[in-house]
Structure 1
Amino acid sequence: MELMELIEEFFSPSSLSQVMEGYEAREGQRVMAREVARVMEEGGVSLVEGGTGVGKTLAYLVPSALFALEGDARVVISTSTKSLQDQVVNKDLPLVQRLLGEGGRHFLAAALKGRNNYLCLHRLKAAVERGKVDRDVVEWAHKTVHGDLETAPKVGLSHLLGSRWEYCLGKSCGYRELCFYQRAWKRAEEAHLVVVNHHLLLSHLVAEKKGLPFFERLIVDEAHRLERTALEVLGESCVISWLLRQVQGLTGLGLALGMGTDFLQDLEDLKGRLSRSLTFLKGLLPQGRVAVWEMEALEEVEEEISNLSLAIEEVALRGEGWLRRQGEEAPLHREVALGVGELLAGARVLEKWAQGPREMVRWAETRRGEVPWISFHLVPLEVSSILGEGLFTMVDGVVLTSATLSVAGSMAHIREALGVPFHAREVFLPSEFDYEEQVRLVVVRSVPPPLSPAYQERLLEVLSSILRERGGGALLLFTAYRVMEGAVEVLRGEFPHLNFYVQGEEGRDALVRTFREDPWGVLVGVESFWEGIDLPGECLKTLVLVKLPFKSPQDPLVAARSRWYQEQGKDPFTDYLLPEAVLVFRQGFGRLIRTKEDRGVVYLLDSRVLDKGYGRVFLSSLPPGVKMDVVE
C-alpha cells in the first residue's frame, strides 16, 4: 500500500479512536499528515503552520514512522526544548507504536540529547570519592535506566557528572560498556525515528555533522525558535573571572604534581595579570551590557583584551608542552588538560573579540561584586546563510512546522530568517477551536505608554482590578523583569489569599506543575513564559498580556541587527522588530486556549494595538473569530 493510502487509513476516526479515547477526526491533521508524507516520499522543503488543536505532533510522527519503517530509513524529529523532546518520546511515540500495531513490531524510536545531559559513571566515582554528591544521587545512579540527568533528584548536576568529551577516557574507561551516552548513541543508530532538540541539531550542523547518526529526512517542530537557538549555538563568550578560577585550579594541581617552579611562577604571574585586567577594565566599562559602539574607550579595551589573550595563550601552550612530556598516563593528566584547554579556548574568544569581525555583534557585560564579573560576547548578525547552506542541503526532505510561522498571513519573515529555499511550499492550517465562543479579548485603553511617569501606578490599578474580578487561575505575562518584580511585590500585599508563582523563584517546570494544582494560583513570567507552557482546563481562565512584546532597542544584538537591516535598505521596524513581536504575541495569546473545552479572557494592557498603524498587524494575526472589547 502506498504511503498516501496508509495515511488516509491511519487518520480515519475508526483507526485513531482505537488508541486515543474520545478522538475526533480533524481535517487539518489529515491535510498536514498528507503534506508530511509528500515530503517523505518526494523530498523538498515545506513550511506548515498548524493552529492550536490541529494535532501537529501525530500528523508528522505517523507519516515519518511509516516512511522510515517501509524504507528502512531514519527520520530526525527536532523540538525546541528538552522538555518537549521528553513529551514526544514519553507521550506521543507510544501512541504511534500502538497505532502501528502488528506492523510496528520492528519500529524503533530513540531520544538523543547532547552528551553532557548523560551521567558519566567515571565522574560519578570520582565525585563520590571526593564527597561531592549526596546519597540520593548515588541511589538514583544505581537505578536509572538511561542516565538522563534531567531525571536526577538534584538539578544542575551536568557540570559535575555530565559526560563531557573532555573527561571521556574512551576505550580505556572501565565503564565503557555501561556508558549511558554511548548506549543512547547506539539506540539512535538503530532507530527509525530519532527525537532531538534544536540545540543538538544545530551543533550537529556546525560540527561537521558529527553530532547525530546519518538521517534521510528532518522534521523541525516549533520552527519559529530555530533562529534564536542558532544564535545561541553560534555565539561565543568569555568570562574573565572564570579564567582566573581556571588558573587557580591549575596552580593547585601544579603544586600537587610538582610541575616545577617555572610553570608555577607562570601561573602566578598570569593570575596577577588577570586580576589587574579586571581592575583596569572595570574602570573603562559601565555596569550592565554595553555594545562596542557605546564604549568611549573601545580602542583601550580592545588593546587590553588582545594583550591579555596573548598572555593567556603563552602560559596555556607551556602547559600543553608539559602535558606532552609527561604522557597521557601521568596522574591527573586529564584534569590539567581540561584546565589548559579552557584557558586556550578563552584566549581565542578574547582575541576574536578584540579583532572585531564585521559579521559578529560584540558587547561586554559588567556586574559589580567582591570580584568584578566581566564577560565578552560575540553573536552572528544573522544565521540565515548558515542555515540556508547547511540545514536544507543536509537532507533531501525538511518539514518546518509551528503554530506561529506567519505574520498577518505571510511567512516572508520566517523564510528570510531561516534561509528557506524559494521553492519551499507553504501550508496554512487553521485552529480547530471555536475562538468566537471560547475566548474574549479585552484591550484596556487607560494604561499610559511605558515611558510615562504614570505608567507603573495605572498598571498596578488595572492588574488589581483584574485579579479582584477574576481571582486565581491567571497568567500574567510581562516583558521586563524590573516591571514584573515591582508589580508582584505590590500584588502579593494586596491579595494575600492568592498564591503567586513567579519566574526566577523556582524552575519554570516546577512553577507550572504547582500552579496547575492550585485554584488560587497566579503564574507570573517574562519572555520564556510567553511560549512552551501548556495549561489546559480550569487551571487557566485569565491571561494578561501586560505589553506588546517588542524587543528592547537597548539590547546590543537588537541594535546591531536593526542597523544591519538599515544597511540592507530595509526598515528595521517593519521588517524585523514588528514581525518578531507579532510572533511572540501570537505565542503568548495561545497560552489560554489549549482544548475545545477551555474558556477564558485575554486582557491586553497596551493601547498601541488600537492607536498605532502597526496595531492592525497584531490583530490580523490572531485566530479568526476572536471577539474584542475596548475598555478604559
Structure 2
Amino acid sequence: MSFQTAAEVLGAEGAMARCIEGFQPRAQQQEMAAAVEQAMRDEQTLVCEAGTGTGKTFAYLVPALLSGQTVIISTGTKNLQDQLFQKDLPLVRKALEMPLQTALLKGRSNYLCLYRLQVTEQEGRLASRELVHQLRRVREWAGRTDSGDITEFMDIGEDSPLWPMVTSTVDNCLGAECPSFNDCHVMRARREAAGADVVVINHHLLLADMVLREDGFGELLPTANAYIIDEAHQLPEIATHFFGQTLSGRQLFELAKDALAEFHSSAADSAALSTAADKLDYAVRDFRLALGNDSSQRQPWARLRAESKVAEQLQGLENALQALQQQLEPVAERSKGLENCLERCETQLGRLALFNAEETPDQVYWVDIYSRSFVLCCTPLNVAEPFQKRMQEQRAAWVFTSATLAVNGRFDHYADQLGLTEVRTALWDSPFDFRSHALLYAPPDMPPPNSPSYVEAVMEAAVPVLEASRGRAFLLFTSHRALKQAAALLQGRCDYPLLVQGDYPRNELLRRFREQGNAVLLGTGSFWEGVDVRGEALSCVIIDKLPFAAPDDPVLQARADALRARGGNPFMELQVPRAVIALKQGVGRLIRDIDDRGVMVLCDPRLIDKPYGQVFLNSLPPMLRTRKLELVQRFFAAQAKSDIGETVAPDALPG
C-alpha cells in the first residue's frame, strides 16, 4: 500500500476512508494511532485514555497490523473479544490488504469438551427433560462445529446449567491423556494462536498465562512483540483475583460430581467412594449455609472464621475432602478421570489449609458469598509486583488504553496499581460536542446519601426529568437494594415502560429498551459499562450516588490500611480515584454517537458540597451544567443547538 504511517491510513485520503463508507477522519484517532505506532516501534509502555467516539479500536489495530510484529490484543469481556475479532479486525485487514494470520483464543470453559460431552451422555443423570433435549442439540452441533466455541451455538442460553457439564476447567481437564485430545477444540485454538500474527484474547486469559508462567507450568499464549490492553481500567481488579489462591464452592461441587461419575464408570465396586462424594457435596452445602443468608457480598475471612458455626463447618469440609482422598487413592490408577479427581482433591485440601492457617500481613483474605456458592480468596495486598515481574520477563511494547483511565487528567493512580514505571501517557478528549449536545443536572436540595429517605429523594428528582425526557432513560444505582426500592417507588408514577434488572437477562432488557424507544431501565453495576445504546432511545442517564466502593470491602480496607501506614491518604489516593473511574463509565453511557443528545443527572450532593467533588467534575466530559429543573425541561424541548447554550450557560455549575 502507498501510505506508510498509521495516521495516514486513518486520514481523509487513507485506506480506511476508501474502504469504509462514511468514514470520518478524526484528529484524536490519528494522534492515538501515531502514539501506539511509536510505542510498538520503540518497545515503550503507553498508557492512554481516548474519549468516547475517538475510534480507539482502529487507532490501535492499524499500527498493530502495519508493524509486522506478533501482537496480542486483550479485551475486557468475551463480547468485546468477539466483536473485535469478527468485525473490526477483518475490516482493518481488508482495508490494508494485508494477508495476516489472526486467531481468537478464549479460556477453556468457552469451548465444547468432547470427552465431557461423552461422559455426560453416558452418565445420563440430567435433572430435567429440557436438559436432555439441550444435550441432544449440543451433540448434533458437535458434529458440525469447527471451533467448538459455545458462543457460536445460539440455541441454548449461556446461563444453561448444561454448559458446565460439556465444557472443561483447569481442574477437570485430562490434558494429553484425554481420549479426545487429538480432536480437542481448546488445543486446536491454541495451535492456531501459536502461528498467528495477531491474537485476540481477554484479560482473564492474559492473567492466567502470567500466573502459569510465573509458576513454571508452561504457557497459554505465544510470545509476542507487543501487548495491547483494551478496556484496561478493568485489569487491576481482575489481577487481584488471579495473583492469589482461591477455592470455590463450584470447584468442590464439581469434584464431588466428577468423582461420582468416575465411580459409576470405573469404580463401581467401591461403594465407599460414592458415599464420600455424596458427603463432600453435603459438606459444601453446609459450609455455604454457615456463611449466612445474605448473598452477593464480600466479607473478611477473619471475621467469619471466628464464628463457631463457620469454624465447625470448615472442619467438616476438610474432613469430607480427606475422606474422599482416602477413597480415591486406592482406585486412582484405574482411569485418568479418577487420577484427575485425586489430584484435584489434594490441591483443594492444600488451598483449604491456607484458610485454616494464620493470615500473613502481605496477603488479603476474604470470602465472596453468592446465593448458592462461595469463593474463598487470598491475594497479594499489591498486585503490582507480580504483574511487573511478568512484564519484564521479555522485551515487548505494552499499550494500556480505555475511555476511562485518567483521574483529574492524570494517570498516577492507574500506573501505581500495576507498578508501571517509565511510561508515556496521553489523553484525547472525545470528538463529540458534549458542550452543545449534553447537559449535566445536579438536583438541588438533595439529602445526604446516607439519609434513610435518600432513594425517595432521588425518585422525586427523577420523575419530572423522566416526564421531560419522555422516558428514554437509564437509572443507574450503586446497590441492588436501592434499585429495588426505586423500582417500587416508580410503579404507578412513571408513564413509560419500566425495565428492571433481574426481571430479564441483560441482553433481553437492552433489546426491549431499544425496541420500545421510550422505556426507563433501572440497573446496577452491569449496566454502568459495556452498554452501547445509540440514538434517541437513550436520552437521559440518572445516577443515584457517586460510586464509592463499600467501605467495609476487605480488599479496600487492607489496601487503605497499608497506604495509611506509609503516610498516604486512602480516601483521596484510593477511594476517590476508583469512584471517578466508575462514574466516568456510567456517564459514558449517555453520548455514544455524533448526533446523540441527552441529559446526565447526578443526584449525589457531595458532587457540589464536598471539595473532592471538583475532582469528579474535572474528570467528566465538558458538559454545560445546571441545578435548575426548568433548564432540563427546556433542553429536551429545544430544537437548535444555540437554544441549548443560551438556556444553560447562565446557570453553569462551578468548574
TM-score by length of 2: 0.85
CA distance in 1: counterparts of 2:555 and 2:302, whole angstroms: 12
Taking every aligned residue pair, what percent have the same amino acid on both sides?
Answer: 32
Q: Shift of residue 307 of structure 1?
A: 4.9
Encode CA deviations 1:57-80: one digit per residue, 9 max, x unaligned: 111111111112xxxx31000111
Q: Secondary structure, in 3 states, of the residue corresponding to 1:565? A: helix
Which residue pairs with 2:192 in the alignment? Answer: 187
**C-alpha displacement at 1:164, in angstroms?**
3.3
- Residue 390 of structure 1 corresponds to 390
Distance 2:281 2:148 in 1: 38
Native 8 Å contact 1:220 1:399 kept in 2 = yes
Distance 1:262 1:539, change over 3 A: closer
Distance (whole Å) between structure 2 residues aligned to residue 145 and residue 261 of structure 1: 40
Residue in structure 2 matched with residue 426 of structure 1 by the alignment: 425
Q: In structure 2, what is the equivalent of residue 318 of structure 1?
A: 326
Residue equivalent to 2:230: 221
How many angstroms does 1:618 deviate by?
0.5
The change in CA–CA distance for 1:249 and 1:27 in structure 2 (over 3 A counts) is closer
How far residue 258 of structure 1 moved from its aligned partner, in angstroms, is 3.9
TM-score, normalising length: structure 1: 0.88
Cα offsets for 1:406-454 (capped at 9, x unmatched): 1101111001011102x11111222111111110100112221122132
Matched, 1:476 2:469: no
1:478-517 maps to which residues of 2 (within 5 A)? 478-495=477-494, 497-517=495-515
- Distance in structure 2 (CA, Å) of the matches to 1:108 and 1:138: 30
In the alignment, the residues of structure 1 paired with residue 205 and residue 199 of structure 2 have an alpha-carbon distance, to the nearest angstrom, of 12
1:535 to 521, 533, 536: 533
> Does the C-alpha gap of structure 1 residues 86 and 438 become closer, same or farther in structure 2, counting only changes over 3 Å?
same
Q: Distance in 2 between matches of 1:428 and 1:245?
A: 46
**2:22 maps to 1:22:** yes
Residues 317, 431 of structure 1: alpha-carbon distance in 2 compared, 3 angstrom cutoff: same
The 1:187–1:278 alpha-carbon spacing in structure 2 relative to 1, beyond 3 Å, is closer
**Aligned partners of 1:319, 1:519: CA distance in 2, in Å?**
60
**Which residue among 597, 600, 605 is the counterpart of 1:599?**
597
Match of 2:306 in 1: 298
1:354 aligns with 2:356: yes
* Pairwise CA distance, 1:138: 3.5
1:139-179 residue CA offsets vs partner (Å, 9 max, x unmatched): 44344342211232222344111143555455565644543
- Residues 463/276 of structure 1: CA separation in 2 closer, same or farther (3 Å cut): closer
Higher deviation after alignment, 206-215 or 233-242: 233-242
* Counterpart residue identity of residue 81, structure 1: T
How far is the alpha carbon of 1:339 from its aligned partner?
4.0
Shift of 1:602: 0.6
Among 98, 103, 113, the residue aligned to 1:110 = 103
Q: CA 1:258 to 1:499, structure 2 compared with 1: closer, same or farther past 3 Å?
A: same
Q: Which residue of 1 aligns with 2:651?
A: none
Change (3 A) 1:556 1:149: same
Question: CA deviation digits over 1:453-483, x for unaligned, max 9?
Answer: 3223222222222222212221111100000
Greater Cα shift, 407-416 or 315-324: 315-324
User: What secondary structure is seen at the aligned counterpart in 1 of 2:536?
Assistant: helix
Whether the aligned pair in 1 keeps the contact of 2:117 and 2:166 (CA below 8 Å) is: yes
Match of 1:563 in 2: 561
8 Å Cα contact 1:61/1:96 also seen in 2: yes
C-alpha distance in 1 between matches for 2:586 and 2:414: 18
Moved more, 230-239 or 533-542: 230-239
* Alignment-derived partner of residue 347 in structure 2: 345
Distance in 2 of aligned mates of 1:287 and 1:61: 38
Contact preservation (8 Å) 1:316, 1:344: no
Counterpart Cα distance in 2 of 1:164 and 1:82 = 17
Alignment-mate amino acid for residue 121 of structure 1: L
CA RMSD of aligned residues (A): 3.2
The answer to whether the Cα contact below 8 Å between 2:533 and 2:592 also exists between their aligned partners in 1 is: yes
The one-letter amino acid paired with 2:477 is F
* Counterpart Cα distance in 2 of 1:232 and 1:219: 21
Q: Report if the CA contact (8 A) 2:302-2:365 is conserved.
A: no
Structure 1 equivalent of residue 635 of structure 2: none
Distance (Å, rounded) in 2 between the aligned partners of 1:413 and 1:602: 26
Unaligned runs of 5+ in 2: 127-131, 630-655
Q: 1:27 to 1:287 in 2, by over 3 A?
A: closer
1:631 aligns with 2:628: yes
Alignment of 1:193-212 (within 5 A): 193-208=198-213, 210-212=219-221
2:489 counterpart letter in structure 1: V
| Cα distance in structure 2, aligned partners of 1:269 and 1:551 | 38
Distance 2:294 2:585 in 1: 37
Once the two structures are TM-superposed, the CA of residue 249 in structure 1 deviates from its matched residue by 6.4
Shift of 1:26: 1.1
Q: Which amino acid aligns with 1:433?
A: F
Cα contact 2:295–2:371 (8 A) shared by 1: no
What amino acid is aligned across from residue 358 of structure 1 in structure 2? P
1:63 — aligned with what? 63
Code of the aligned partner of 1:233: F
Tell me whether 1:234 sits opposite 2:246 in the alignment: no
- Cα deviation for residue 553 of structure 1 reads 0.5
- Per-residue deviation, 1:359: 2.4
Shift, 1:133, TM fit: 4.9
1:549–1:584: 8 Å Cα contact kept in structure 2?
yes
Q: Secondary structure at the match of 1:28?
A: helix
Name the aligned partner's letter for residue 360 of structure 1.
Q
Alpha-carbon distance in 2 for matches of 1:181, 1:245: 20
1:392 offset after TM fit, Å? Answer: 4.6
1:75-474 equivalences under 5 Å are 75-101=71-97, 104=98, 106-129=99-122, 130=124, 132-134=132-134, 135-152=136-153, 153-154=155-156, 155-156=158-159, 157-165=162-170, 167-168=172-173, 170=175, 175-208=180-213, 210-239=219-248, 243=252, 246-247=255-256, 250=259, 254=263, 257-260=267-270, 281=290, 289-292=298-301, 294=303, 298=306, 307=315, 311-312=319-320, 314-324=322-332, 326-328=333-335, 333-334=336-337, 336-355=338-357, 356-364=359-367, 376-421=376-421, 423-474=422-473
> CA, structure 1 residues 226+444, in 2 after alignment: closer, same or farther (shift >3 Å)?
same
User: SS of the counterpart of 2:559?
Assistant: helix
Could you tell me how far apart the structure 2 residues matched to 1:283 and 1:85 are?
Answer: 37
Change (3 A) 1:470 1:258: same
Q: Judge conservation of contact 2:171–2:344 (CA < 8 Å) in 1.
A: no
**Counterpart secondary structure, 1:48:** strand
- Deviation per CA, 1:516-570, whole angstroms, max 9, x where unpaired? 2221222221122211111122221111111111111122222222222212221
**Unaligned stretches of 5+ residues in structure 1:** none
Three-state SS of the structure 1 residue aligned to 2:19 is coil
Counterparts of 1:285 and 1:98, CA distance in 2: 52
Task: State the Cα distance separating 1:271 from its structure 2 match.
Answer: 7.5
CA separation in 1, counterparts of 2:116 and 2:274? 27
- SS state at 1:64 partner: helix
The 1:121–1:309 alpha-carbon spacing in structure 2 relative to 1, beyond 3 Å, is closer
SS of corresponding position for 1:460: helix
Q: Secondary structure, in 3 states, of the residue corresponding to 1:290?
A: strand
CA contact (8 A) 1:37 1:63 kept: yes
Separation (CA, whole Å) in 2 of partners of 1:239 and 1:286? 15
Contact 2:53 2:592 in 1 (8 A): yes
Aligned match for 1:589, one of 575, 587, 590: 587
What is the CA–CA distance in structure 2 between the aligned matches of 1:27 and 1:287, rounded to whole Å?
Answer: 44
Match of 2:644 in 1: none
Who is 2:647 aligned against? none
Whether contact under 8 Å (2:72, 2:227) holds in the other structure is yes
3-state SS of 1:603 partner: strand
User: Relative to structure 2, which stretch is displaced further, 354-363 or 269-278?
Assistant: 269-278
* Contact 2:280–2:324 under 8 Å retained in 1: no
Aligned pair in 2 of structure 1 residues 275, 515: CA closer, same or farther (>3 Å)?
closer
